[in-house]
Structure 1
Amino acid sequence: MSPSSLISGARYWPDERALELCFTGGRRYLYLGVPASVAEDFTRSMSMGRYFNEAIKGRFTCHELASEAVPRRRRRAAND
Structure 2
Amino acid sequence: MQRARRLASSMIDRVVHDDEAQTLSVRFRNGRDYVYETVPRATYDALVSAPSAGAFFNDAVRGHFPCRRASKRYAP
Distance in 1 between the 2:72 and 2:13 partners? 13
State the superposition RMSD in angstroms: 1.2
Q: Which runs of 5+ in 1 are unaligned?
A: 69-80
Distance in 1 between the 2:13 and 2:71 partners? 16
Q: Which runs of 5+ in 2 are unaligned?
A: 1-5
TM-score by length of 1: 0.80
Structure 2 residue aligned with 1:76: none
Distance in 1 between the 2:27 and 2:41 partners? 18
Please identify the structure whose Cα radius of gyration is greater. Answer: 1
Question: Do 1:27 and 1:67's aligned partners in 2 also have CA atoms closer than 8 Å?
Answer: no
The count of corresponding residues between Structure 1 and Structure 2 is 68
Name the one with the larger strand percent: 2
* Alpha-carbon distance, 1:16 to partner: 0.7
Other structure's SS at 2:46 match: helix
* Post-superposition CA distance 1:21-72 (Å, at most 9, x none): 000000000000001110100011110000000000000000101354xxxx
Is 2:20 the partner of 1:10? no
Percent of aligned pairs with the same residue?
A: 28
1:34 pairs with one of 31, 34, 39:
39
Question: Do 1:26 and 1:67's aligned partners in 2 also have CA atoms closer than 8 Å?
Answer: no
